[in-house]
Structure 1
């Protein structure tokens, strides 16, 4: 699993464009270090704001020009992005017989489709289904349970700050040791999954965002993990939280990363997480608690628990029904390519599960301000669902999170 996330992180960095960015000048503390490769930009005098507006990414290089053939999907391969059609022109192709390949495709608002598509493959419908956070969450939103008044912080990559999914929710964008010139694919995705107005779990939570790079590239072009800047970013969120009024505090931090192993200074991160805990902030990362991500057939209803299956990256691993299962694959999120653009990711990885859990915790904080992570997880497991599955060595799949039952039960607590 750690190999998967390392590969994803490095791949994301490589996909970021290199055109210039708009920079808002700000006064920096004397301790801040900057170089051409890595930027640290903080809000001056703790007057929180948007310190920089990275330009949108351009993914036309993925399949330049008009595509002359469609790649084939190999179900026996663990390779990701096998059918990567983001910002691609397929208008010259006849794809009427390629359903089994297209159903595993990644694509976005800038993908140009041909007239001849297979029956049952409808890109617009797939994207709309993928925007739904699922499992009844929109039912909670209609009741006013939206995370309103709760601060949710994200530490991730460069953000397209003006995207319509989260622009109104975004209270702060800063950078600490950030190498991203343009908006990266990862940032808009996790932000929209957490607080997006149509995509998100907690669509009215306040978003505080720090873009940070978890290390440096050495002279050989290899990525050296160094989590000291991640620890600094957590400390910065704690510092910001102390300036916020009661009733508007940051209650949860989302970090889509597995922390530990051979990563330099990972101990500092745990020290910072403990400081955040003392300030009432719960930090969620890939291995914080017992949870895993779920797959969903792109054509199935996200609100139906029976639409889900084992997550794609662990589909061949035997599962003991001992972890909370979270929607992860087949998600449509904010895209870095434009403020009105969306992108459908057939594979999500645990990076997409982390902000989902953070959003759920924000909802729990709204209905019960004194909630703790321990109570949250206890109720999450108690209210979860188990489903029967076919064509598998296991007969059942559980414990699948039930957001409606979870929040309703927390709300009833005395």
Structure 2
């Protein structure tokens, strides 16, 4: 994927699933009279549904069905070729495909740029050096020493993370136990989508997540509608309503288990409808001690990684795939992004490997880091967090012979250890 995942996938996949739903809207006593009125009067299409917890008890309001990418009985007749000069997404998309009839010898360069999942059927013989199981296991590691922190008990425990994204496969093993609430506001997704399980597992996944014991509060929401011409029109007023809902939910939580960060894997531009309303809601959340992370909220950029290299070793990282041919101004904090193995929407025990990520994958990573910081220092602020994140970062060298400096890469271990020392 050559562009921001939030722009390519969110525009083509995040807003899909607009099938008619017979589910009716419910009312929650936790919604104020004013906000309830806004939700009811604004819901104009049966294609989008709003479902909220009832009786002042947070709940899983619906369980979207699993995703099915392809007919499993159809075998692939040819392996797609990867073109490094192309900006197209999903060039070698092997998710849930049957490759058993293919001769893949000599195709290792294409396979190293493949997206695949637990349901991909491989031929008996694969090129030397390509092992999908090894690649998936390496991709599950959130990297940069985070598992070292987890072993010390720094896991985000008793810290709440809220995510606003696509329809979620709520029972996935990566985050089922962490999920405290699943609601929908103006959601057009009938079934689970690829994006939601990905961001949820990066944030709080048991094996792939940055903060594996943080509490997860999830709202599935579609950031607009499709017009009569089939074109998607952004309307971020729904995102604003979702943020407002999170603020209301947070007021019901115990003082020691508050939501401290909201993750929204979306680039928010001034020309998007509802831009003003979103930032008014973000400001309200800040006043309640909730930090909102989105694409462009701070100075950070996503990194690439060779799929067979160790995610804990900073020398494994490179420029992200979507910006590998661009110049870098060295002013942003670098965050792991590509070659991630995350929860798949195809089954509660399924995983999917994305060779190229996108900035959508960096947002829940940052949110997870902030949750770890909140665990060790509950009164941490975003400004202090980011200042220390830059101060404790390491310089990433991309060429050992020329000592070319790419930029500052986050060092989670140094960051959290430094925050622990603050009185």
Q: CA, structure 1 residues 26+52, in 2 after alignment: closer, same or farther (shift >3 Å)?
A: same
Verify the 8 A CA contact 1:158 1:187 in the aligned structure 2: yes
Q: Which residue of 18, 39, 42 maps to 1:32?
A: 39
SS of 2:39's equivalent? coil
Match of 1:218 in 2: 227
Distance in 2, Cα, partners of 1:47 & 1:237: 14
- The answer to whether residue 189 in structure 2 is matched with residue 180 in structure 1 is yes
Q: Deviations over 1:84-132 (max 9, x none)?
A: 0000000001102110000000000000000121001000000000000
- The answer to whether residue 361 in structure 2 is matched with residue 360 in structure 1 is no
Distance in 2, Cα, partners of 1:3 & 1:328: 11
Distance in 2, Cα, partners of 1:14 & 1:151: 26
- The answer to whether residue 92 in structure 2 is matched with residue 83 in structure 1 is yes
- How far did residue 13 of structure 1 move? 4.2
Verify the 8 A CA contact 1:38 1:179 in the aligned structure 2: yes
Verify the 8 A CA contact 1:2 1:258 in the aligned structure 2: no
Q: Which residue of 101, 106, 109 maps to 2:110?
A: 101
Verify the 8 A CA contact 1:50 1:172 in the aligned structure 2: yes
Matches within 5 A, 1:277-356: 277-356=286-365
Distance in 1, Cα, partners of 2:78 & 2:200: 34
SS of 1:194's equivalent? helix
Match of 1:9 in 2: 10
Distance in 2, Cα, partners of 1:131 & 1:168: 18
Match of 2:61 in 1: 51
Distance in 1, Cα, partners of 2:59 & 2:17: 24
- How far did residue 347 of structure 1 move? 0.9
Distance in 2, Cα, partners of 1:6 & 1:299: 27
Query: Which ranges of structure 1 fall in alignment gaps of 5 or more residues?
Result: none
Q: Deviations over 1:368-413 (max 9, x none)?
A: 0000000000000001011322299981122000000000000111
Q: What's the TM-score, normalizing by structure 2?
A: 0.93
SS of 1:366's equivalent? helix
Q: Which residue of 60, 64, 73 maps to 2:70?
A: 60
SS of 2:201's equivalent? helix
Query: Which ranges of structure 2 fall in alignment gaps of 5 or more residues?
Result: 29-35
Q: CA, structure 1 residues 118+294, in 2 after alignment: closer, same or farther (shift >3 Å)?
A: same
Distance in 2, Cα, partners of 1:190 & 1:388: 28
Distance in 1, Cα, partners of 2:38 & 2:276: 21
- How far did residue 4 of structure 1 move? 5.9
Q: CA, structure 1 residues 64+328, in 2 after alignment: closer, same or farther (shift >3 Å)?
A: farther
Verify the 8 A CA contact 2:244 2:285 in the aligned structure 1: yes
Matches within 5 A, 1:106-117: 106-117=115-126
Q: What's the TM-score, normalizing by structure 1?
A: 0.95
Q: CA, structure 1 residues 24+38, in 2 after alignment: closer, same or farther (shift >3 Å)?
A: closer
- How far did residue 26 of structure 1 move? 3.9
Distance in 1, Cα, partners of 2:156 & 2:10: 29
Match of 2:33 in 1: none
Match of 1:382 in 2: 391
